[in-house]
Structure 1
Amino acid sequence: MASMLDGCTPWPEEFVDHYWAAGHWRGNTLDNLLRGWALQYGPRTALVHGASRLTYAQLNRRVDRMAAGFRGRGLRPGMRVVVQLPNVPEFVVTAFALMRAGLVPVFCPLSAREPEVPELVRAAQAVGYVGPSTHQDFDHTVMAAGIAARWPFLRRVFTYEAPGTESPYGGLTTDPSNCQYAPLGSLDAPPEPALPLGAGQVAFLLVSGAGVLVPRTHDDFAYQATAAARSISLTEDDVYLTALPADVDLALGAPGVIGALSAGATVVLADVTDPAVCLATLARERVTVTALTPDTARRWLDALSAAGPALSALRLAQIAGTPPDRATAERIGTALDCRVQQVFGTPEGLLTLTRPTDPDDPALATHGRPLSPDDQIRLVDADGAPVPDGTPGELLARGPHTIRGYYRAPDHDARTFTPDGYLRTGHLAHRTADGNLVVTGRRAGRT
């Protein structure tokens, strides 16, 4: 296994050997998997956003050229780049291009402002920032300039402009703090030879609920996304709508964008949450699978009578929330004539979910079972002792897609991980008599 990014905690060697022997980890980087998908599904549609469409082959070519563009701007393997973009094709292209260039994307919620984004740049020691120049009347470029003035290691800012708008940066410019600015679209250069990247290396960093950085490796995330895709029998005939922000774990890999691409499916990106727009998109693109929060699901249901064309293609709606919202699940299953899958996940990697073949009771009222047969789950009381089935306890987990430590956060690691490597999630859960988990909320005093 290749050495991890400095400041990260690797899995113990005996676990690495077991995950390889079990076939969970395959030694392929996410960007190299995209190359294979492009060969396998080349002319099929990979991404849809409004009237825009990209085939798998086009997506891979754009990733190649943007990766070369990043390297041409002096960014080197191992450097971190904060990515704060809406659900647009540029998010997917940028994420894969950074990984292909050996860089580490740091996915930042689009809603984050001061002080979260500057702190994220500081914690990651990010040399680059990719974001919209403005979004919903907020000037991200001004924010980036302020961060560059505060943290001198931020030296490259790339701005995304929605189609039809003019970039304020017609070419590369430099501000008084010596930070360079350029349109994201200017990162277009002839492809370069592939870098020898290791699948055990960190692919990207997510933001945890406590605001610390979560390092996800190529091996662990590829396994999570593809296993989640298999769990719902995703195929190249499916159309997956990304309605949740694409920077969160569930929308990225449960199965999310990466899981859908692994199956040759079409990913439809929705960068607005307006129910009328999303429902029209479901009908127009004949979406078969999507993931929602309970609040979003209820808004969709309230607007359903005005949706127009029938949504008969939808076969599965994932509901991600705690506790399981049975009433909303039953309502959406009836109104949209589809199966409902309850899902609970964390940026750290734990993913537990019902299966489409489960009977109604567990499917509607529990979070099902862990994704991997090698996920290890404990439910413990305040003293760390196991609790019996039916009794609430804190949910602890370790497995082939659950991290062993945060990025450069040893004090947080000491509080959050047990000496034998279990993640203390801070969530309360109980196990039903038939072995399903019900996550009910956060434990008092845990963030």
Structure 2
Amino acid sequence: MLEGCVPWPAEAADKFRKLGLWEDITVAEMVERTMRTMPDKTAVVFKERRISYADLVRSSQRLAVALLDLGLKPRDRVVMQLPNVPEFVIAYLALNRIGAIPVMALRAHRHNEVRHFIRASGAAAYLVPDVIGSFDYRAMAAEMAAESPHLRHVIVAGEPAPGQRALAPLIDGSTIDAHALGQRLDAVRPSPDDVSTMLLSGGTTSVSKLIPRTHNDYVLNARLCAHTAGFDRDTVFMAILPLGHNYNLASPGMLGTFHAGGTVVIAASTDIEEIFATVERERVSVIASVVPLISNWINSDVPARFDRSTIKVIQNGGARLAPELRMRLREQFHCTPQEIYGTAEGLINMTRLDDPDDLLLESSGAPVSEYDEIKVLDDDDREVPDGEPGELVTRGPYTIRGYYNAPEKNAEAFTPDGFYRMGDIVRKRGRHVFTEGRRKDLINRGGEKISCDEIENLIFGMPQVKVVALVGLPDPVFGEKACACVILQPGATLGFDELIAYLRQQKIASFKLPERLEIMREFPVSPVGKILKRELRERILAQANA
């Protein structure tokens, strides 16, 4: 296993193999296995493009050999920041085929986050689009390359800047025949026990930690989630959210669809009319969504203008969908709402499609594997009875045993016997869990997690700020939004636009920006001086309702 990663204990690994949980194949081999049974089946649809399983595997293998020719090696890390396009799928599989490790950055990330990903992973390459909207990723990549001597390659999906390489010729340029292609790739086949993918932690600290998922555990993750979602060869899965998210990548997402032999339809945007026109055209059967999108669909008359009769399931992840919204979704779309609650570190809980209403409409699901161990602990790490609130901890065949190169964080995040601390307060009824909120200081904006520590530390950099506290306020669309509460230095002033302009200069993702500013004279504090954020939040809400 890659140095800096924590392996499963040998006894546990042996057990998972004997139970048939770990198949000892790589992620790329999983897709190739499906291809051999249905080479002409459509694997990926994007706008007018249709890519068969055979073409998908052929393109990814050609790119894999081109990357080897560039000098990339097994276990090299590659920060991947591509949007939802077929090139994302091809590049992801190509890296997995040669044992290089994609680090899954998101389109919204900017200099501050990307710099951390490159440094923390020791990345050898960075894969970006050229321009999206008004933002030029090539310029950011050039800055990162200048700062990081170990970053040897910048590869651009689109027109590269000087010193950068275009992705398209690497995919299309190889003339090597299939036999020679296979020989080259077989020579560098990664061990299924090695790292397939590095995901990003939700971040209760100021920076995301890197989550090393192995081929064995990630294939299992995709397989279990696909089975629980009822995926099969007839599944037409629509991906709207970032493919770099664990939810849309493998829970069940893209990889779960490929495991089942279905078709992945990549949505071109989140525009409601475009989404449902695509549903009608491609006869979509499953959509993975989030609270803000579902809320918009329920409250709009647009979906009714299109044929939605093929939709069987609409999944929700990232943040809990309220029971009343699940009921409205079922009534208006004549489909089954499926709640998916989990973590990029491993454990995935899903409601079953045949659950009784009290579980289907109210719970956050049950673990997808009978071998997922879950416990609910109090503040002293004692297990609490069913129905009592506490922190959810887990251990199992696809939950990591440690972050990459993070021994201090691992000591906090894992119990001595290897259970991962989810950081969520839940109540358990049998195997089903009911979520109640975060244990640590995190704002959940429509599934995107905002670390209060990170934003507070940045705001403290403003000379007029004496004290700052970031709190989450209710939002009808995103569930929560960030409010910056500030005590100013004597005589200082600060406006909302000034605060946002300053934070934009720090080059952080836009979803992390506060959406409200409250200037205050004092904060409620505990006897030892700790800011009481719950009381602070209640004060703001009370003033708004006064």
TM range (shorter): over 0.9
Deviation digits for residues 144-191 of structure 1 (CA, Å, limit 9, x no counterpart):
110111111111011112xxxxx245xxx53xxxxxx11111213233
Deviation digits for residues 242-284 of structure 1 (CA, Å, limit 9, x no counterpart):
1121111111111110010111100001141111211211111
Unaligned 5+ residue runs, structure 2?
A: 443-450, 452-546
Q: How does 1:243-258 map to 2 (within 5 A)?
A: 243-258=240-255
Unaligned 5+ residue runs, structure 1?
A: 162-166, 175-180
Q: Which whole-Å CA distance do the structure 2 matches of 1:321 and 1:102 have between them?
A: 29
1:10 maps onto 2:3 in alignment: no
Asked if structure 1 preserves the Cα contact closer than 8 Å seen for 2:276 and 2:303, the reply is: no
**How far has the Cα of 1:233 moved from its partner?**
2.1
1:201 maps onto 2:194 in alignment: yes
**How far has the Cα of 1:85 moved from its partner?**
0.9
Q: What's 2:114 paired with?
A: 117
Partner of 2:155, secondary structure, is strand
Which residue of the other structure, out of 340, 346, 349, is the alignment partner of 1:352? Answer: 349
Q: What's 1:164 paired with?
A: none
Query: Are residues 257 and 306 of structure 1, via their aligned partners in 2, closer, same or farther at CA, if it must alter by over 3 Å?
Result: closer
Asked if structure 2 preserves the Cα contact closer than 8 Å seen for 1:31 and 1:96, the reply is: yes
Partner of 1:429, secondary structure, is strand
**How far has the Cα of 1:306 moved from its partner?**
5.3
Q: Which whole-Å CA distance do the structure 2 matches of 1:410 and 1:316 have between them?
A: 41
Asked if structure 2 preserves the Cα contact closer than 8 Å seen for 1:133 and 1:159, the reply is: yes
1:372 maps onto 2:408 in alignment: no
Q: Which whole-Å CA distance do the structure 1 matches of 2:142 and 2:189 have between them?
A: 34
Which amino acid is 1:438 matched to? Answer: F
TM-score (norm: length of structure 1): 0.93
Q: How does 1:180-259 map to 2 (within 5 A)?
A: 181-188=164-171, 189=174, 190=176, 191=181, 192-194=184-186, 195-210=188-203, 211-259=208-256
**How far has the Cα of 1:228 moved from its partner?**
1.0
Q: Which whole-Å CA distance do the structure 1 matches of 2:301 and 2:328 have between them?
A: 12
Q: How does 1:199-348 map to 2 (within 5 A)?
A: 199-210=192-203, 211-305=208-302, 308-348=305-345
Which amino acid is 1:16 matched to? Answer: A
Q: Which whole-Å CA distance do the structure 1 matches of 2:337 and 2:303 have between them?
A: 22
Asked if structure 2 preserves the Cα contact closer than 8 Å seen for 1:343 and 1:354, the reply is: yes
Q: What's 2:414 paired with?
A: 417
Asked if structure 1 preserves the Cα contact closer than 8 Å seen for 2:97 and 2:185, the reply is: no
Q: Which has the higher contact order (CA 8 A, sep 6+)?
A: 1
Identity %: 37
Q: How does 1:386-425 map to 2 (within 5 A)?
A: 386-425=383-422
Partner of 1:430, secondary structure, is strand
Query: Are residues 265 and 257 of structure 1, via their aligned partners in 2, closer, same or farther at CA, if it must alter by over 3 Å?
Result: same
**How far has the Cα of 1:134 moved from its partner?**
1.2
Which amino acid is 2:382 matched to? Answer: A
Partner of 2:225, secondary structure, is helix
Which residue of the other structure, out of 71, 93, 97, is the alignment partner of 1:96? Answer: 93
Partner of 1:394, secondary structure, is strand
Asked if structure 1 preserves the Cα contact closer than 8 Å seen for 2:240 and 2:267, the reply is: yes
Asked if structure 1 preserves the Cα contact closer than 8 Å seen for 2:322 and 2:362, the reply is: yes
Q: Which whole-Å CA distance do the structure 2 matches of 1:28 and 1:159 have between them?
A: 30
Partner of 2:305, secondary structure, is coil
**How far has the Cα of 1:303 moved from its partner?**
3.0
Q: Which whole-Å CA distance do the structure 2 matches of 1:259 and 1:322 have between them?
A: 21
Q: Which whole-Å CA distance do the structure 2 matches of 1:94 and 1:304 have between them?
A: 38
Asked if structure 1 preserves the Cα contact closer than 8 Å seen for 2:313 and 2:335, the reply is: yes
Q: Which whole-Å CA distance do the structure 2 matches of 1:245 and 1:168 have between them?
A: 23
TM-score (norm: length of structure 2): 0.77
Query: Are residues 209 and 321 of structure 1, via their aligned partners in 2, closer, same or farther at CA, if it must alter by over 3 Å?
Result: closer
1:63 maps onto 2:55 in alignment: no
**How far has the Cα of 1:14 moved from its partner?**
1.1
Partner of 1:344, secondary structure, is strand
Asked if structure 2 preserves the Cα contact closer than 8 Å seen for 1:379 and 1:393, the reply is: yes
**How far has the Cα of 1:133 moved from its partner?**
1.1
Query: Are residues 306 and 261 of structure 1, via their aligned partners in 2, closer, same or farther at CA, if it must alter by over 3 Å?
Result: closer
Q: What's 1:178 paired with?
A: none
Query: Are residues 274 and 223 of structure 1, via their aligned partners in 2, closer, same or farther at CA, if it must alter by over 3 Å?
Result: same
**How far has the Cα of 1:227 moved from its partner?**
1.2
Asked if structure 2 preserves the Cα contact closer than 8 Å seen for 1:276 and 1:307, the reply is: no
Q: Which whole-Å CA distance do the structure 2 matches of 1:435 and 1:156 have between them?
A: 47
Asked if structure 1 preserves the Cα contact closer than 8 Å seen for 2:221 and 2:251, the reply is: yes
Q: Which whole-Å CA distance do the structure 2 matches of 1:98 and 1:168 have between them?
A: 20
Higher-Rg structure is 2
Asked if structure 2 preserves the Cα contact closer than 8 Å seen for 1:242 and 1:268, the reply is: yes
Which amino acid is 2:195 matched to? Answer: V
Which amino acid is 1:363 matched to? Answer: L
Which amino acid is 2:388 matched to? Answer: T
Which residue of the other structure, out of 433, 446, 459, is the alignment partner of 1:437? Answer: 433
Q: Which whole-Å CA distance do the structure 1 matches of 2:61 and 2:127 have between them?
A: 17
Q: Which whole-Å CA distance do the structure 1 matches of 2:239 and 2:84 have between them?
A: 8
Partner of 1:303, secondary structure, is coil
Q: What's 2:27 paired with?
A: 30
